[in-house]
Amino acid sequence: NQAIQTVYGDVGLTMGNLQLGGPESPNNDNNDPFTFNWSGFSWTGSQNIKTKVLDLAQPLGFDNFSLAPSINLKWAMPWLKTLRDSGQYEQFLDETAEHVAAVLVYWRDNFGIIPRYIVPFNEPLSGNGELAGGSTQQLTDIVKRVGSRMAAEGFSNVKMVVPSEETEQKSLARASGILKDAQARQYVGAIAFHTYPYGSTYSDYEKILDTSGIGTPDESKIQVRNQLRDLAAQYGVQVWMTEVSMGPGNRYNDDPFGDFAYLRARAIHIHDELLYANASAYYGMNNMWDLKTHMEHFGGSDDFLSERSTIALINNNTNEVFISGMGYAIGHYARWIRRGAIRLDVSSNNPLVLVSAFRDESQKRIVLVLINNLNVQASIQVDLSGVSVGGMIEGEESFGSVRWQSLTPFSPESSDRVNLTVPALSVTSISIPISEPTSAEPALQPFRLAVLEQNYPNPLTTFTTFSFTLGEPENVELRIYDLLGRKVKTVLNSTLSSGEHSVTVSMPDLPNGVYIYRLETPGGAKSKYMVVRN
């Protein structure tokens, strides 16, 4: 109970990937993939997850979980590998589909639960290699066969998260192959990736601090994240970072558990996944890990606090639960940002002060997470556009040995400006209550009445048309920016009459990618995304 409260109540996790213990491991339920032999499945893992995790965690907000009926030929389902390798490929595909469908039917019929997503693979062709020598085409075939079976069983709204490969690059390659297939992509809801191998930029917390932490992010890692973002935008799916660890065992035992550097590094990592990959989910390693499991897994080693990529660590001997730096970093986002919040355009004029911003319409607030990588405290001025501050600002900060320390609520500098000072080498979350401009505020009225449409065509190749409506005559600037906030083109800068306007622009030399186009008027600004695919 204490561990569940820590992970889902204190840190605030709302989603996760539930491992179900191999329902068909090590044997097939029967030789007919279209008839469930329920006595041939093992549901102990599902029952334990339901009673020991979900029943306790769902009241705390853990309600967006994915089921993982993992297709694992390497060690869990050797019979499935035998089918494939003996030339019985069609039956192999039908059996994988039955395996996934059986899990969904069991959870629906026994627990009344239908998840939004399933995760059929975990490092299938790399890392763990759980597809045991498969191929991208095989992944695609499995997605199509599983998706078709899910639809036949009444689960047409459940989407798959694929491919969860070991590295960003390998995940990009496999996801590209799957999504190119028109039949397969209708069943995909998110592209998932891991950030290995150990020692790579985002696996190693010291490398995070030595790159993004000093204002010089790894350009090769930005590039592959931009490609993941663009691929997702092309096909209308999400991007999830679904596993990261700095490595097992005592690799970093020279660094004391609880060192703030790890918290700051993981907060930076989250910032970068949001910014460069446009990720909408960020996972650690495990939600919890305990001393008993650690000793069994590592041959008696008791250094379980080295597993600091896991959210919470449990000492079974003393009944203590510890939040890792990963957990505290995630908490700076998860404790304040609710599902449905929209990530906003935000820029910082200091590369050592990183900012993520979100608008939560249900709570009528804007949330900022500020990471100060300076060795001195920083005076922060937050300028808002298009909304007014509607009350006292709240928040919390972490630095040194301090974790999630509540800020004393304070007043804004003005209706559109918030000033605060953050400690050196710190992570700070603030919540700014907002109110929409009203007709009693004539200076803001043009923003309220301006309407910016989605450009067409989108994605574009050489030209596109921008359309917008003005409530009254005013000066209009329409600019295009990349996702780093750099201006790449001014489309329009002139005074226009009220009413509907459109402008068609040729952009044959604009590199492929996702861009922001921004309509600016004296009353405020509105932005939308567009995709260039030449």
Mean pLDDT, residues 3-32 taken together:
95
Strands 117-118 and 66-68: parallel
Percentage of the chain exceeding pLDDT 70: 95
pLDDT at 446 over 50: no
Per-residue burial over 66-88, b = 16 or more CB atoms within 10 Å of its CB, e = otherwise: bbbbbbbbeebbeebbebbeeee
Strands 394-399 and 365-372: unpaired
Q: Which tokens belong to 138?
A: 């095989």
492: β partners: 478
426 backbone dihedrals φ, ψ, rounded to 5° = -140, 165
Taking only the tens place, the pLDDT of each residue in 46-105 is 999 999 999 999 999 998 999 999 999 999 999 999 999 999 999 999 999 999 999 999
For residue 300, how many other CB atoms are within 10 A of its CB? 8
389 backbone dihedrals φ, ψ, rounded to 5° = -70, 130
pLDDT, position 253: 55
Give the CA radius of gyration of the chain.
25
Q: Residue 445: which pLDDT band, with cuts at 50, 70 and 90?
A: very low
Mean pLDDT, residues 178-191 taken together:
98
**C-beta separation of 338 from 363 below 8 A:** yes
Task: Count CA atoms within 13 Å of residue 508 on its CB side.
Answer: 0
Only one residue has tokens 């007709």, namely 439
Mean pLDDT, residues 437-455 taken together:
52
pLDDT, position 254: 58
Taking only the tens place, the pLDDT of each residue in 496-511 is 888 888 898 988 888 8
Q: Residue 109: which pLDDT band, with cuts at 50, 70 and 90?
A: very high
pLDDT, position 359: 94
Which residues touch 302 (CB under 8 Å, ≥6 apart)?
291, 294, 295
Among the residue ranges 389-398, 431-440, 500-509, the one predicted with the least confidence is 431-440
The side-by-side arrangement of strands in the sheet containing 487-496 is 487-496, 474-481, 513-521, 524-532
Tell me the one-letter amino acid at 133.
G
Q: Residue 306: which pLDDT band, with cuts at 50, 70 and 90?
A: confident
What is the rounded distance in angstroms from the CA atom of residue 36 to the CA atom of residue 42? 12
pLDDT, position 340: 87
pLDDT at 470 over 80: yes
pLDDT, position 434: 94
Q: Which tokens belong to 281?
A: 């989910």
Tell me the one-letter amino acid at 303.
D
Mean pLDDT, residues 444-454 taken together:
56
User: C-alpha angle with apex 329: 328 to 331, nearest 5 degrees?
Assistant: 65
What is the rounded distance in angstroms from the CA atom of residue 87 to the CA atom of residue 91? 9
Percentage of the chain exceeding pLDDT 90: 74
426: β partners: 372, 399
**C-beta separation of 415 from 389 below 8 A:** yes
pLDDT, position 121: 95
Q: Rounded mean pLDDT of the chain? A: 91
pLDDT at 178 over 90: yes
User: C-alpha angle with apex 430: 9 to 351, nearest 5 degrees?
Assistant: 120
pLDDT, position 339: 86
pLDDT at 347 over 90: no
Mean pLDDT, residues 239-244 taken together:
97
**C-beta separation of 309 from 284 below 8 A:** yes
For residue 205, how many other CB atoms are within 10 A of its CB? 26
pLDDT at 307 over 50: yes
Q: Residue 398: which pLDDT band, with cuts at 50, 70 and 90?
A: very high
Tell me the one-letter amino acid at 443.
A
pLDDT at 442 over 70: no
Taking only the tens place, the pLDDT of each residue in 112-159 is 999 999 999 999 999 999 999 999 999 999 999 999 999 999 999 999
pLDDT, position 262: 95
User: C-alpha angle with apex 119: 282 to 50, nearest 5 degrees?
Assistant: 90
Only one residue has tokens 């035998």, namely 82
Mean pLDDT, residues 508-526 taken together:
81
Q: Which tokens belong to 167?
A: 């590295």
Run of H or E residues at 194: strand 188-194
Taking only the tens place, the pLDDT of each residue in 252-268 is 555 678 899 999 999 99
pLDDT, position 156: 94
What does the DSSP assignment read for 65-78? -EEE----TTTT-H
Only one residue has tokens 């804007």, namely 366
Q: Which of 254, 388, 214, 313 is nearest to 7 (CA)?
A: 313
Q: Which of 486, 484, 496 is nearest to 520 (CA)?
A: 496
Mean pLDDT, residues 356-373 taken together:
95
What is the rounded distance in angstroms from the CA atom of residue 379 to the CA atom of residue 422? 7
